[in-house]
């Protein structure tokens, strides 16, 4: 079985003092997890987090990357800039960026390409809205979102991490049931299999109100390789409990 990957998405939260306290609490209690762990910090704090996480089991992630390599793109952050700060993962195509910043499937695919080009692993988010789920369009939506990334990135697709994040479950306290999540993950895995011989090694994370109470049931599903965690990653004890659940699932596999 692949190692699980647990990633915290801090979104637009924190400050110098709060970040140091949160990361300090995590590192103090974490030990050496069996699973891989990362936290995706807001851009201005990447240098701070690079210093705090150095030589720790927690990798550094960012929350967005430009679709361009460099040039006159005011306000944008390139993949090579992220790499300069030791960034290992970058979230791409989060539903909040698709919804509030008009990010299209094509733009997401271009951002994935930029991240891959500099050796930063994109965590590519996809998922349906409540209206799309109720209309029975879940599979169609995630297939379309993944197809754009596959089309734009060819055989490099085996280097990405996917995150299935039903929009209706993000920050709402509503979680997809383990069966609902596994069903969509299996669809994504099958689509990956058609694109690469290495589909089994591509991590597919679940995200959407994952917490200490529901993590184990989700993470035990055969195609759920980890979690992308928003709100619960801002509470050290909650995030540590999710990491412990991932480790327990891996140990019993």
Distance of CA 66 to the CA centre of its chain: 17
Residue number with CB closer to ligand PEP (187 or 232): 232
Let me know the angle formed at the C-alpha of 83 by 119 and 65, rounded to the nearest 5 degrees: 85
165 touching ligand PEP, by CB under 6 A: yes
Q: How far apart are CA 64 and CA 193, in angstroms?
A: 27
Q: Does 66 engage in binding with ligand PEP (CB under 6 A)?
A: no
At 143, list the tokens.
Answer: 């297939």
Phi, psi of 54 (to 5 degrees): -55, 135
Q: Which of 88, 62, 89 is closest to 77 using CA atoms?
A: 62
Contact code string over 202-231 relative to ligand PEP, x by CB under 6 A:
-----xxxx-----------------xxxx
Q: How many residues bind ligand PEP (CB under 6 A)?
A: 13
- Tell me how far, at minimum, the Cβ of 160 lies from ligand PEP, in Å: 16
The CB-of-11 to ligand PEP minimum distance in angstroms stands at: 6
Contacts of ligand PEP in 81-140 (CB under 6 A): none
Query: Catalytic annotation on 155?
Result: no
Residue selected from 24, 31, 44, 171 as contacting ligand PEP according to rule CB under 6 A: 171
Judged by beta carbon, residue 38 or residue 195, the one nearer ligand PEP is 38
* Residue 14 in contact with ligand PEP, rule: CB under 6 A: no
- 26 versus 195: smaller Cβ distance to ligand PEP: 26
Residue 10 φ/ψ, nearest 5 degrees: -75, -10
In the residue annotation, 165 being an active-site residue is answered as yes
Which residue's Cβ has the minimum distance to ligand PEP? 230
Helix (H) or strand (E) holding 169: none
The residues with which 61 forms a beta bridge, in sequence order, are: 40, 89
Q: Which of 93, 96, 112 is nearest to 150 (CA)?
A: 112
The number of residues making up the chain comes to 253
Active-site hit among 94, 96, 128, 238: 94
> Of the listed 96, 165, 185, 238, which one is catalytic?
165
Spatial separation of the C-alpha atoms in residues 100 and 179, rounded to whole Å: 29
Which residues are tagged catalytic? 94, 165
> Which parts of this chain interact with ligand PEP (CB under 6 A)?
9, 165, 170-171, 207-210, 228-232
């Amino acid at each position: 079985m692949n190692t699980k990957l647990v990633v915290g998405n801090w979104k637009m939260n924190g400050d110098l003092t709060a970040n140091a306290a949160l990361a300090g609490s995590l590192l103090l209690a974490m030990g050496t997890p069996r699973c891989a762990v990362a936290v995706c910090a807001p851009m201005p704090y990447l240098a701070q987090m690079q210093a705090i996480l150095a030589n720790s089991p927690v990798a550094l992630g960012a929350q967005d990357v430009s679709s361009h390599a460099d040039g006159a793109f005011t306000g944008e952050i390139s993949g090579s800039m992220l790499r300069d700060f030791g960034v290992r993962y970058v979230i791409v195509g989060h539903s909040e960026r698709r919804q509030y910043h008009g990010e299209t499937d094509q733009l997401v695919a271009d951002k994935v390409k930029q991240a891959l080009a500099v050796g930063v692993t994109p965590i590519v988010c996809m998922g349906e809205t409540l209206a799309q789920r109720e209309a029975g369009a879940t599979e169609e939506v995630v297939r379309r979102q993944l197809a754009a990334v596959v089309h734009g990135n060819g055989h490099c697709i085996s280097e990405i991490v996917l995150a299935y994040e039903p929009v209706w479950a993000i920050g709402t306290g509503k979680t997809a049931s383990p069966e609902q999540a596994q069903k969509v993950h299996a669809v994504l895995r099958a689509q990956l299999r058609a694109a690469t011989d290495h589909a089994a090694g591509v991590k597919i994370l679940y995200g959407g109100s994952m917490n200490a109470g529901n993590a184990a049931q989700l993470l035990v599903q055969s195609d759920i390789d980890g979690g992308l965690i928003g709100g619960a990653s801002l509470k050290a004890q909650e995030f540590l409990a999710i990491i412990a659940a991932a480790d327990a699932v891996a140990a019993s596999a």
